[in-house]
Amino acid sequence: MSENGHDSHGEMLVIIGSGPAGWTAALYAARAQLEPLCIIGVPKQDPGPVLPGGQLMLTTDVENYPGFPEGVAGPEMMGLFQKQAERFGARVVMDDVATVDFQHDSSVPHTMTLASGKTVRAHAVIIATGATANWLGLDNEMRLAQAGGGVSACAVCDGALPMFRDNPVAVVGGGDTAMEEAHHLSKFASKVYVIHRRDELRASKVMQERTLGKDNVEMVWNSTVVDVLDKKDEATGVDVIRAIVLEDVHSKEQRELDVSGLFIAIGHTPATKFLRESGLEFDDAGYIDLKHRSSVTNIDGVFAAGDVADAKYRQAVTAAGMGCQAALDAEHWLGAHALV
């Protein structure tokens, strides 16, 4: 390998994504002297799949990442992740990967075309592009989510926050995720309303029974959330949710429901659009399929880590752990092919 992590074929290792998975992969790869090139995306007006720093940029309080006993703001934590990776030599390009041309012959490097038109070639690639929570698309929703105002897409992450304790909250959705979120919240909230637009759930019978058997969980059928109403919290000065407006799907009648929290559980979309023609294998839900409990994909030299390959856990700490695995797998692969 020549200087700066590349040889005449291009980069040794490219990491796509700058969430917990991407930065942890970058940290490990940099400390292994692979001098990874991290392509982190360009900030956009609407937070979509490309969001430098990843999904945690949308949250104020991270209370479940080990090492931060007082909790930490998501953007602050991601700044620290980046700083640590850069300290060991990770290089950063702020661009989106638009398309990829992955090779099945390990002697030929993979090629990535960036939104700016540049191309990058690399022997090994780690995909850590995450999965975006699906939101309802209401005016106040994202504003309150980003401000810590009681709107969230993750009950495991936020459910235990003091603002939800002994207060009524609502969950939107009708699948297993909505049932899991409601079940988790029922431990803290005084009441959990599950808002569903149909008159039956998609969730498995066992999940339904477990959740709806709870005394403080109540279904609100045939209803959609059409607005989120807020107020200024007197103690903190922060805008917080005070109620949601529900609309009956048949009668179109609207009513307010007082809640201190709104949890959106209508699924996630893995950020894999740019990989459609890549030859990578995906599972039924569109997440990258990994082999043998590792970060190895079906394409030689291409690895995946974090939420883009994990429909189940979707936590910062699990994504970071997968980033570590991917860097070790990539290092091992590069060594086995005599590329480092």
Ligand X SMILES: Cc1cc2nc3c(=O)[nH]c(=O)nc-3n(C[C@H](O)[C@H](O)[C@H](O)COP(=O)(O)OP(=O)(O)OC[C@H]3O[C@@H](n4cnc5c(N)ncnc54)[C@H](O)[C@@H]3O)c2cc1C
Binding site for ligand X (CB under 6 A): 16-22, 39-41, 49-56, 58-59, 62, 64-65, 96-97, 128-130, 133, 145, 152-154, 157, 271, 274, 306-308, 314-317, 319
Nearer to ligand X, 15 or 217 (CB): 15
| Strands (E) located in 249-301 | 254-258, 261-264, 268-270
Produce one character per residue of 157-183: b if its CB has 16 or more CB atoms within 10 Å, e if not. bbbebebbeebbbbbbbbbbbbbbbbb
CB of residue 302 vs ligand X: minimum separation in angstroms?
A: 15
Long-range contacts of 113-119 (CB under 8 A, 24+ apart): 114/39, 115/42
CB of residue 248 vs ligand X: minimum separation in angstroms?
A: 28
Q: How many CB atoms lie within 10 A of CB 198?
A: 11
Nearer to ligand X, 64 or 216 (CB): 64
User: Active-site residue among 95, 96, 158, 307?
Assistant: 158
* 158 included as an active-site residue: yes
User: Active-site residue among 95, 157, 230, 307?
Assistant: 157
Closest by CA to 299, choosing from 106, 128, 122, is 106
User: Active-site residue among 38, 95, 154, 230?
Assistant: 154
Nearer to ligand X, 18 or 223 (CB): 18
Burial of 84 (0-12, 13-18, 19+ CB in 10 A): middle
CB of residue 289 vs ligand X: minimum separation in angstroms?
A: 16
CB of residue 96 vs ligand X: minimum separation in angstroms?
A: 4
* 154 included as an active-site residue: yes
Nearer to ligand X, 15 or 220 (CB): 15
Q: How many CB atoms lie within 10 A of CB 292?
A: 6
* 38 included as an active-site residue: no
Torsion 255-260-265-270 (CA) sign: positive
Active site residues: 154, 157-158
